């Protein structure tokens, strides 16, 4: 079985890296794109707080904390992670529906915790 | 007019409060019911957030709690006890300020005529230090007490910053309930809702379903909670859940807008959405209907 792998690296927006992979297998082309997004958490915000991704393309979130223990929850896609200083937490999901969905900190982190949220926009 | 109607009317005049009945048998306004010997009522106050400062949200942040204490003291018939369902203070990273706020709060509520006051923590009080300061001032994070035939269980779903009750406390709850008769009147007091009211707004308990599963084995259970800064009523099976208003700011109805946000103060309607509630417990003694039957009809 012959496989040909090509990569291109695009910077789509702040914190977003789009890795495109094309796999040719037995004459059949399979797209295996992956969207890598880096998000930093600090009291009391996520950066970036507004993210746009493509429907059907796997997303990898690389979550880091700049100060203290935070949480990350994106209910719509069953994503949940603890974000602790000094470590990169990676979570992966496939956005399979179009729309705008909220994510938020679900680990009580102080006065302002309730405002620590953002939105994920999924487009075609 | 019965005693409990007097109390309800008084609260209505004060522009705050609703009545929630926690017995297996519910009294409603207009029904002619004989007050039972063991009936009693208590007052629930919640989410006082002492230390909060935000003139656009509550320009009377220093006065609202004191007004509520005065309103309770002004009730013509004093409640048997008062319970605060969490977020006594506004959270802060500063350990000293946290304790100062708790001391100030304790001093203010010491002005209540009612001397039996039950406290519990909210996430603002306990999540940053896992309840260390709270316990110094107010005691255990979870406990039980009994009053006139009603068993009260205070559950802690806030000292874990992940909003969980936890396995250890869940086992404690199971052990406590095993000692209860199957038809015991049980009131659970907690801060966050035990059911998934709006998880994206932090209006849920991570392992609340496990708690409810345990409680479901008892037919007479009512849950009173705070956290969501508004009155809300919900049922999970036969268990009723009632949330209380805040005494600092109001919040929008669950899911009514994309993002949870404090409702700004309206000078035309000051204190709108804030208040406290009284709870009337009607504890009925066992009653038996006896019917004599003959061996054969005719």
A42 inside domain: yes
State which H helix or E strand residue A17 sits in. Answer: strand A16-25
Largest CA distance in chain B: 84
**Does B256 lie at the interface with A, CB-CB under 8 angstroms?**
no
- Is A1 part of any domain? no
Residue B27, pLDDT score: 32
Q: Residue A13 above 50 pLDDT?
A: no
Instruction: Find residues 23-52 of chain B whose CB sits inside 8 Å of chain A.
Output: none
CA pseudo-torsion sign B135, A104, A66, A49: negative
CATH 3.40.30.10 for the B3-22+36-281 domain, yes or no: no
A45-47/A50-54 β-pairing = unpaired
Question: Residue A31 falls within a domain, yes or no?
Answer: no
pLDDT in tens, B176-232: 999 999 889 999 999 999 999 999 899 999 999 999 999 999 999 999 999 999 999
What angle (nearest 5°) sits at the alpha carbon of residue B136, between those of residues B133 and B141?
A: 80
ipTM: 0.81
3-class secondary-structure state, position A61? strand
Predicted TM-score (pTM) of this structure: 0.83
Using a CB–CB cutoff of 8 Å, tell me whether A102 touches chain B. yes
- Within a 10 A sphere around the Cβ of A35, how many other Cβ atoms? 20
Query: Could you list the residue range(s) of the whole structural domain that residue A42 is in?
Result: 38-123
> DSSP 3-state assignment of B89?
strand
| Strand A89-93 versus strand A99-104 pairing type | unpaired
Question: How is residue B99 annotated by DSSP?
Answer: H
Average pLDDT of chain B, as a whole number? 88
* Phi, psi for residue A112 in degrees, rounded to 5: 125, -5
- Which among A71, A108, A111 has the least Cβ separation from residue B90? A111
Number of domains, chain A: 1
Continuous segment of H or E residues that includes residue B154: strand B150-154
Q: Does A67 touch chain B (CB under 8 A)?
A: no
Query: Is A73 a member of any domain?
Result: yes
Provide the pLDDT for residue B298.
Answer: 57
Q: Which residue stretches of chain B have pLDDT < 50?
A: 1-19, 23-36
Whether B162 contacts chain A with CB within 8 A: yes
Q: Which of A1-10, A24-33, B33-42, B206-215 is predicted with the least confidence, judged by mean pLDDT?
A: A1-10
Report yes or no on A23 lying in a domain: no
Peptide bond into A48 cis (omega under 30): yes
Local structure of A47: helix, strand or coil: strand
- Give the helix/strand (H/E) hosting B5: helix B3-13
Contacts of A80 (CB under 8 A, 6+ apart): A71, A72, A73, A74, A91, A106
CATH number at A105 reads 2.60.40.420
């Amino acid at each position: 079985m012959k496989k040909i792998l090509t990569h291109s690296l695009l910077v789509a927006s702040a914190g977003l890296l789009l890795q495109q992979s094309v796999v040719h297998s037995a004459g059949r082309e399979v797209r295996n794109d992956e969207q890598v997004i880096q998000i930093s958490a600090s009291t009391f915000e996520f950066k970036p707080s507004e993210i746009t991704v493509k429907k059907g393309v796997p997303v990898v979130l690389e979550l880091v904390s700049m100060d203290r223990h935070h949480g990350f929850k994106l209910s719509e896609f069953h994503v949940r992670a603890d974000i602790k200083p000094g470590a990169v937490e990676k979570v992966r999901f496939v956005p399979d529906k179009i729309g705008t969905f909220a994510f938020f900190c679900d680990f009580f982190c102080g006065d302002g915790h309730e405002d620590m949220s953002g939105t994920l926009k999924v487009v075609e | 007019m019965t005693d409990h109607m007097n109390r309800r009317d008084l609260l209505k005049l004060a522009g705050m409060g609703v009545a929630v009945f926690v017995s297996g048998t519910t009294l409603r306004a207009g029904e002619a019911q004989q007050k039972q010997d063991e009936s009693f009522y208590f007052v629930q106050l919640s989410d006082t957030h002492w230390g909060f400062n935000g003139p656009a949200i509550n320009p009377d942040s220093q006065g609202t709690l004191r007004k509520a204490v005065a309103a309770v003291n002004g009730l013509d018939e004093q409640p048997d006890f008062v319970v605060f369902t969490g977020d006594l203070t506004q959270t802060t990273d500063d350990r000293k300020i946290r304790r100062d706020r708790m001391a100030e709060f304790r001093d203010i509520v010491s002005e209540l005529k009612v001397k039996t006051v039950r406290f519990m923590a909210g996430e603002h009080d306990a999540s940053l230090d896992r309840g260390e300061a709270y316990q110094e001032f107010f005691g255990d994070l979870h406990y039980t007490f009994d009053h006139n035939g009603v068993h009260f269980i205070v559950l802690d779903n806030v000292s874990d910053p992940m909003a969980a009750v936890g396995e250890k406390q869940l086992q404690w709850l199971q052990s406590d309930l095993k000692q209860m008769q199957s038809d015991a009147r049980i009131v659970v007091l907690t801060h966050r809702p035990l059911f998934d009211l709006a998880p994206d707004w932090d209006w849920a308990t991570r392992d609340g379903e496990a708690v409810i599963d345990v409680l479901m084995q008892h037919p007479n259970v009512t849950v009173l909670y705070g956290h969501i800064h508004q009155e809300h009523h919900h049922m999970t099976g036969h268990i009723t859940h009632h949330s209380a208003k805040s005494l600092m700011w109001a919040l929008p109805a669950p899911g009514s807008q994309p993002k949870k946000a404090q409702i700004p103060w309206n000078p035309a309607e000051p204190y709108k959405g804030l208040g406290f509630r009284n709870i009337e417990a009607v504890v009925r003694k066992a009653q038996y209907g006896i019917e004599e039957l003959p061996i054969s009809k005719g």
